[in-house]
A and B are shown apart, each in its own frame.
Chain A
Amino acid sequence: MTSQRTLIAALLIVLALVAPLVAYPVFLMTALCFALFACAFNLLLGYAGLMSFGHAMFFGMGGYFFGYVVKTMGLAPEIGLLAGVGGAALLGLVTGALAIRRQGIYFAMITLAFAQMVYFICVQAPFTGGEDGLQGIPRRALLGGLLPIDSDRTLYYVVLVLFLFGFGLIYRVIHSPFGQVLKAIRDNEQRAVSLGYEADRYKLLAFVLSASLAGLAGSMKALVLQFATLTDVSAGVSGEVVLMALVGGLGTIFGPVIGAFIIVAMQNYLAFTGEFVLVIQGAIFVVIVMAFRKGLLGEFSDWWKRRRAG
């Protein structure tokens, strides 16, 4: 089983390495950014049982922090990335500490409300560029000038490394003792508390971690596409990331990655239909909730198990 998994992982990495030869690097990079975002979201919902419906605030703010540091302050992209992660973490700390005071569906509503507040602030605040956003964020060379990233192909590998770093971190967290406690809290909070775990601390830590990684994903997107706009802090994007995780399979490790690629691809191909993309996304939500709650990967593994058993 483990060797099989290693094999699959190796295969995927090879695939990722050759991918820009067959697909547009910008598409791949965008998808990787959303994949990391979806994995961060999934860490929270799939493994800690916390449904944040406001994750766009971390993703979008990550982009703004990155853009502000790199464009307005003229600093190196690495500092921009750090700012994106740090800023999102701080925002996660504040909103998370408040949101975890309620459970279940209230948690979702509270995160959604805070995200809306952040959105309104972004509309007005001077540093976000308002309706125009931050445009033309320069792609300054990395590593103190040693690694120029003007070429999309080069940048793709940088983004891939960043993605793998984030993904690996999530994988490690899920399989760490911390991840085990999270799952215990998800399955039965009262029991976990009676075993002596301070559930709120664990939840908050998971929230901040997830927010930071979402911030990283948002900064990466700003690095790739060279802009940061209101769209990325809007409720629509908060919904999109839920959809990605849901399509791929909540609580599966690769599911959100698959979901992100599917949704980003769908948006690319259906961009010509304009608003109709929203209708299709909404319909996918409805269909999945009604019929395929485990998502692609979950349903597939069920099917596989049945096939093996039968």
Chain B
Amino acid sequence: MLDIFSIPLPALFGQLLLGLINGAFYAMLSLGLAVIFGMLNVINFTHGAQYMLGAFAAWLLLTNLSIPFWASLVLAPLIVGLFGVLIERLLLKRIYHLDHLYGFLLTFGLSLVIEGLFQWKWGSSGAPYPSPIAGGYNLGFMFLPAYRGFVVLAALVVCLATWYGIERTRLGAYLRAATENPTLVQAFGINVPRLITLTYGLGVGLAALAGVLAAPIQQVSALMGTNLVLVVFAVVVIGGMGSIMGSIVTGFGLGLIEGFTKVVYPPASNTVIFVVMAIVLLVKPAGLFGQTK
């Protein structure tokens, strides 16, 4: 372990920053997955494709309509969220009464269709998206590119706002209650089907927002969400889907662990999250923040 200290500090912090950024995406995506699962009983496999759609929407808005990043930050999640609403109304709505498995398969099929179409139209190599904030800060021990700092902050704000919305507002109370007993909530006069649609739209919008944030860092490509969603599944298993704060903490934490691994033992950085998942399954199968049902 001593050789950690022989690693130059800027390299260490650079990787930790990258880890934090990945963690921000894990947190935003696993948050959306958890909220959707709570209300719809569907593991939304399309989440990765919807993340990609967010990035693509921003890129298309920029290249075709010269709409800048800051406007896309609002527009793209809105467009993709509306698309999600359509999916919920046309397809998902009809399968809630079935086993969870069918929602999983349906959304898997949808992600194949969406990613396939984009790959077919735009190929699988990526397109660059210019960084909206240039420059950076020299923190002494490392150089912090301004945009990357912004991504971490923005993701943190979005996550905490989501937490606040669910745990502290009236709409959030409807959501929590409907997750427990939708029939009774509807019998109180709340339009639960619409609440479900809204939840799906919000969860999808969150994924799209993560995609927009990712666009200037990664290449915008049809398959940018494919592997990510698989890692996020592991994140969700590790955290357990019972707690909003749990999803956030787990997401950021695992990003950091990944970044750290990249410094200590790079070949394992891809797999370390899965190893953590195996350990959690051994020690606390319900997940770090999950309740054993």
Contact = CB atoms under 8 A, between A and B. Distances in A.
Contact present between A and B (CB < 8 A): yes
Interface of A: 51, 53, 98-99, 101-102, 104-106, 108-110, 112-114, 116-117, 120-121, 123-124, 235, 239, 242, 246, 274-279, 281-286, 289-290, 293
A272 to B, nearest CB: 13
A99 B230 CA distance: 15
Contacts of A290: 91, 94-95, 106
Interface stretch (B3-11, B111-119, B209-217): B111-119
B113 A98 contact: no
A279 B277 contact: no
Given A246-B105, A289-B102, 13 more contacts: A99-B281, A101-B285, A104-B100, A105-B101, A109-B236, A114-B278, A116-B227, A121-B271, A278-B119, A283-B113, A286-B109, A286-B113, A293-B98
B285 to A, nearest CB: 4
Contacts of A113: 230-231, 233-234, 237, 274, 277
A285 B230 contact: no
Interface residues of B, number: 43
B269 to A, nearest CB: 9
Contacts of A121: 271
A289 B277 contact: no
Contacts of B230: 112-113, 116, 235
Contact of B281 (A110, A124, A289): A110
B267 interface: yes
A200 to B, nearest CB: 12
Best-buried of B114, B230, B277 by chain A (most CB within 10 Å): B230
Interface in B232-255: 233-234, 236-237
B95 A116 contact: no
Nearest to B222: A275
B227 A282 contact: no
A53 B43 CA distance: 13
B162 to A, nearest CB: 22
Contact of B109 (A51, A109, A114, A289): A289
Nearest to B282: A98
A277 B102 CA distance: 22
A18 to B, nearest CB: 36
Contacts of A246: 105
Nearest to B118: A275
Contacts of B70: none
B174 interface: no
B13 interface: no
Contacts of B98: 293
A164 B255 CA distance: 47
Given A275-B120, A282-B109, A290-B94, A105 B104 contact: yes
B292 to A, nearest CB: 10
A104 B95 CA distance: 16
Nearest to B120: A275
Nearest to A110: B237
A279 B112 contact: yes
Contacts of B233: 109, 112-113
Contacts of B274: 113-114, 116-117, 120
B226 interface: yes
A235 B104 contact: no
Best-buried of B101, B226, B286 by chain A (most CB within 10 Å): B101
A284 B109 contact: yes
Contacts of A276: 116, 120
B156 interface: no
Given A110-B281, A279-B117, A286 B271 contact: no
A286 B106 contact: yes
B79 interface: no
Nearest to B37: A105
Contact of A286 (B110, B116, B227): B110
B270 interface: yes
Contacts of B231: 113, 116
B116 A285 contact: no
B286 to A, nearest CB: 8
A278 B270 CA distance: 26
A105 B116 contact: no
Interface in B263-286: 267, 270-271, 274-275, 277-278, 281-282, 285-286
A282 B237 contact: no
Contact of B101 (A51, A124, A284): A51
Contacts of B282: 98, 101
A282 B43 contact: no
Best-buried of B105, B233, B234 by chain A (most CB within 10 Å): B105
